[in-house]
Chains A and B, each alone.
Chain A
Amino acid sequence: MEVRPILSTLFRNKTAPLLIAAQVALTLAIVANSLYIIRERLASAARPTGLDEPNIGWINLSPVGEVADPKTMQEVDLNTLRAIPGVRSATWANMIPLSQSGWNSGGMSLKEGDNDSGINSAHYFSPGSLVDTFGLNLIAGRDFTADDVFDHDPEQGSALPKTVIISKALAEALLPNEADLGQLVGQQLFNATEAPVTIIGIVDRLQTPWSNEGADGEQSYILPIRYLVGSFQYAIRTEPGQLDRVMKEAADQLSTLRSDRVLNSQRTFAEIRASRYANETLMAGLLIAVTLFLLLITASGIVGLSSLWVNQRRKQIGVRRALGARRIDVIRYFLVENMLITSGGVLLGLLLTLALNQVLVRQMEVPRLPAEYVGFGMVIMWLLGVASVLGPALRAARVPPAVATRTV
């Protein structure tokens, strides 16, 4: 390989190659970091909630004025919903994952009075079976029966339930480093404010309405409560492929059932997810656009400089051809030269990438960049370099050897 003479040529014409190398370095730093951020955001947005998402809808109505008998109303509504063809299960629930607002409890513990355990949990409750209606996966114990359910009127401070189903993430937080979580079934669960309840089941996953990063986003429990207020929010689970039609019928029927309430919203779970992660999706899109734009700019820089050099060196290329260079030798010359510049930029970019990541780790709570993203970024830059120089190099290879004698 003719690396040394190419290097010495580059050293005698430093400015342009240095600019290109700097551009490659900068692009690498930004591309590697933003690829990682994009991946992180999209991966976070793609986390499962534990629900049978494609078949779940959420419908919400507000009463106009006082509601006389909420218990009857819930029953009538639910009977109406369950009668719609294609409905597999429907129930009242206080909240649903990814909705970004809801109930939360702190100080979860297996011991009484341990209010500072630091373990939080989303506080779901429903008079029906969320295991059924959300489509949760029960991995230990049992689901609620009608006997577990307590009517609760917050204004009368009536009796509270005695049983609870918890999520695996909450179980793991309560019993860290313990393989057999099933032993929790039958144990008492305490929290900072309410009476203890007995754990009767564990579900594999149930994300919180806030779906935070990490285990925190999956620490949840469900209480069997019939909440006697005039708030009408129903989760519906349909047979596969029926959701859109069922949601429309459900909205129609619930609206016509009574005139003293208005339909707030009727959303499929896909819509809830989309609005929960709208920012992430937007940010990923922006970063992708910026990344592509940068790559394009850098590629143009390389194409531009290489083209300029091919034109400036036409005579020299002809002379090299006259002296015995084959076309492939000319192509190789430009590829090697570009590789050297790109590699210089990539090495510089490696430092820049890590520095930028440092800043992001500190300022934006972005996790440390894994090595494979740096490696991937480097490969992209090298490929970009080769792809950009290929056109000009092929043009150089077409310079006829007669140029050596024909032009001055």
Chain B
Amino acid sequence: MIRMNKLSKVYRTHMIETHALRGIEIDVQPGEFVAVTGPSGSGKTTFLNIAGLLEEHTGGDYFLDGVNVTGLNDNQRSRLRNEKLGFIFQGFNLIPDLNLFDNVDVPLRYRGFNAAERRRRIEEALAQVGLSARIKHYPSELSGGQQQRVAIARALAGSPKVLLADEPTGNLDTQMARGVMELLEEINARGTTILMVTHDPELAARAARNVHIVDGLVTDFVRREAPSLVAVA
């Protein structure tokens, strides 16, 4: 689903060159739940942004769902993001002036679905995150956990192949974080590939696969049979 070969990213600002990613090799299979961990500044967000086509890599190759995205133009990348990817952000990033219905509607409009199809998908996605009753509410009227659920509904409504989440629970207390994690696990169980950056070892431990990034390199990844089992080598 996500395959990177010798993928690298160099940021060039003024005088400084930052080698944020230095030859990432990874192959994420469809349906996997991958937790990405690593120290601050190690390149996790960079990795996720490149995987999510929010930024372009500067070296190597990246295949998303079999498509080599190297050299695609901005419109093609936008279309791929819209059709294949769903995003969940640490800060929720709902649009404050739109109610839940319209927030979930945003990516669906870019997709070009007709009104009936969009309504069906919005209602279904909000039902899935348990917020059907709040469809006319505005984000400011919801708790953080609820807002993140709306963001998840927005990410899901377009039936993406991959869900990308950068510290989705970073702004939530433990209990709400657990709720969101459970929701992600449910979604993964229905077949959506998930890539999640987290600082929380407990949450990382619940993922079937952990990718550890240090200093721009995947230094360690561990596959285990069941999430309840022992610690990482």
Number of interface residues of B (CB under 8 A): 33
A47 interfacial contact with B, CB 8 Å? no
* B residues 35-84 touching A (CB-CB < 8 Å): 45, 48-49, 52-55, 74-75, 78-79, 81-83
Contact at B93–A324, with CB atoms within 8 Å? no
Contact of A322 among B52, B95, B102, B109 (CB under 8 A): B52
Question: Interface centre among A320, A321, A322, A402, by most B CB within 10 Å?
Answer: A322
Chain A nearest CB from B58 CB (Å) reads 14
Contact at A323–B97, with CB atoms within 8 Å? no
Contact at A324–B79, with CB atoms within 8 Å? yes
The total of interchain contacts (Cβ-Cβ below 8 angstroms) comes to 81
Q: Which residues of A are found within 8 Å of B82, using beta-carbon distances?
A: 323-324
**Cα(A16)–Cα(B50), bound, Å:** 38
Q: Which residues of A are found within 8 Å of B149, using beta-carbon distances?
A: none
Q: Which residues of A are found within 8 Å of B111, using beta-carbon distances?
A: 324
**Cα(A321)–Cα(B87), bound, Å:** 11
What 0/1 readout, one digit per residue, does chain A (322-358) give for beta carbons within 8 Å of chain B?
1111111100000000000000000000000000000
Contact at A404–B54, with CB atoms within 8 Å? yes
**Cα(A12)–Cα(B99), bound, Å:** 11
Contact at B78–A13, with CB atoms within 8 Å? no
Q: Which of A1-9, A59-67, A84-92, A239-247 contacts B (4 or more CB under 8 A)?
A: A1-9
Interface residues on chain A, size class: 20 to 34
**Cα(A400)–Cα(B90), bound, Å:** 18
Q: Which residues of B are found within 8 Å of A237, using beta-carbon distances?
A: none
Contact at A405–B78, with CB atoms within 8 Å? no
Contact at B78–A319, with CB atoms within 8 Å? no
CB-CB nearest in chain A for B171 = A408
Contact at B49–A323, with CB atoms within 8 Å? no
What 0/1 readout, one digit per residue, does chain A (302-329) give for beta carbons within 8 Å of chain B?
0000000000000110011111111111
CB-CB nearest in chain A for B87 = A322
Q: Which residues of B are found within 8 Å of A323, using beta-carbon distances?
A: 81-82, 87, 106-107, 110, 154
Contact at A327–B74, with CB atoms within 8 Å? yes
* A residues 1-59 touching B (CB-CB < 8 Å): 2, 5, 8-9, 12-13
CB-CB nearest in chain A for B45 = A405
Contact at B81–A324, with CB atoms within 8 Å? yes
Contact of B97 among A9, A325, A329, A402 (CB under 8 A): A9
**Known interface pairs A322-B87, A327-B74; A8-B54 also in contact (CB < 8 Å):** no
Contact of B49 among A2, A8, A325, A402 (CB under 8 A): A402
**Cα(A102)–Cα(B54), bound, Å:** 82
Contact at B98–A405, with CB atoms within 8 Å? no
Chain B nearest CB from A311 CB (Å) reads 16
Chain B nearest CB from A408 CB (Å) reads 6
CB-CB nearest in chain A for B80 = A324
**Known interface pairs A5-B98, A402-B55, A404-B87; A324-B49 also in contact (CB < 8 Å):** no
Residue pairs across A and B with Cβ atoms less than 8 A apart, 30 shown, are: A2-B109, A5-B98, A5-B105, A8-B97, A315-B93, A319-B87, A319-B89, A321-B78, A322-B54, A323-B106, A323-B107, A324-B78, A324-B82, A324-B110, A324-B111, A324-B158, A325-B78, A325-B110, A326-B110, A327-B78, A328-B75, A329-B110, A401-B54, A401-B55, A402-B54, A404-B87, A404-B89, A404-B93, A405-B49, A405-B89
Instruction: Write the residues of chain A forming the contact surface with B, with a CB cutoff of 8 angstroms.
Output: 2, 5, 8-9, 12-13, 315-316, 319-329, 400-402, 404-406, 408
Given contact pairs A323-B154, A324-B78, enumerate 5 new A-B contacts (beta carbons under 8 Å).
A323-B106, A324-B83, A326-B79, A329-B110, A401-B54
